[in-house]
Structure 1
Amino acid sequence: MRILGIDPGTAILGYGIIDSVGNQLKPVDYGCIRTEANTDMPSRLGILYEDLTSLIETYKPDAMAVEELFFNRNVTTAITVGQARGVVLLAGVQAKMSVFEYTPLQVKQAICGYGRADKQQVQEMVKMFLNLKVIPKPDDAADALAVSICHAHCAPILSKLSGK
């Protein structure tokens, strides 16, 4: 199964694509889609959609795993990230992919076995699971890979629960 993991954002949207075959996880591609701060929001969302759609067409993932919004005190940030998430979910649904959402707590639990793991612990585990020589950079790409690994771990259970 090919999984596209997404760490949503409007300035930087992290993506990580892995192949999950049996117990093996293999990195396919990872990186970020960036938009310029001085660009209006509709244009930024359009860039995210177009670039994400292009990634989907290129790599043809079977599933998309998206990190859910972690709401903090900055309401403006939460709203803009929510808009980016909407674009991401739309791109996945329009590509007829199965789309799954995971909270940061669920991702950390799946990756580290501890829902309150810090960023460094998660990044080290991503490096280990994917047999990489270095921690993926930037952080947004490493976070997206963590979301895709989380789904790889959860998919067999979700499949059994849904009867598929």
Structure 2
Amino acid sequence: MRILGIDPGLQITGFGVIEKTGEKLAYIASGTVKTGSGGELPGRLKVILDGLAEVIATYQPEQVAIEKVFVNVNPQSTLLLGQARGAAISAAVLRDLPVAEYTALQVKQSVVGNGHAAKEQVQEMVKRLLKLPAIPKPDSADALACAICHAHGGQGLGKLATAGFRVKGGRLV
């Protein structure tokens, strides 16, 4: 099964493609779609949509995993991130691909075994789990981690099933 993981962002959207064969995971590709910090919002969303459509056409994933939006202190930032996420989801559904959504807590729990792990820990574990020669850049690492989380059924190393739970005060309830 080939999985595309997406870490949505309005300036930089990370993507990572892995393949799961039995219990083994293999790295296929990763990178970013960059829109920059200028320009009109519709044009930037088109860059994300077109960039991910190209990734999907090139690597032919069977499933997509994307990180859910968390609520920022700044509501405007949350809204913009949500729009970037919508463009990313649109790229997948236009190709009739199933999309699974995971919180950052679920992804970190699955990959590191700690839902509050630092970015550097996620990067290191992605490198180890996929046997990469170097630590991936943060946006690519987050996207690969999302794909790994999906490959592990949202449970992964910590074996903490988070489906049906919600986060309150930094804890699953």
Q: Mind listing any 5+ residue stretches in structure 1 that lack a counterpart? A: 158-164
Whether 1:145 and 2:144 are equivalent positions in the alignment is: yes
1:148 alignment partner AA: A
Q: What's 2:9 paired with? A: 9
Give 1:18-29 correspondences, 5 Å limit: 18-29=18-29
Structure showing the higher helix proportion among its residues = 1
Task: Tell me the CA shift for residue 155 of structure 1.
Answer: 6.9
1:44 alignment partner AA: R
1:59 alignment partner AA: Y
What CA deviation, in whole Å up to 9, does each residue of 1:47-101 have, x standing for no partner? Answer: 1111111111111100000000111202121111100111111111111111000
TM-score (norm 2): 0.87
What CA deviation, in whole Å up to 9, does each residue of 1:1-49 have, x standing for no partner? Answer: 0000000011000000001111111111101000122211000001111
Relative contact order (C-alpha < 8 Å, sep 6+): which is higher?
1
Q: What's 1:64 paired with? A: 64
Q: CA RMSD in A?
A: 1.5
Runs of 4+ off more than 6 Å? none
Give 1:54-133 correspondences, 5 Å limit: 54-133=54-133
Length, aligned pairs only: 156
Identity %: 47
TM-aligned CA distance change 1:36 to 1:116, over 3 Å: closer
- Contact conserved, 2:68 with 2:102, CA < 8 A, in 1? yes
Structure-2 separation of matches of 1:36 and 1:101: 25
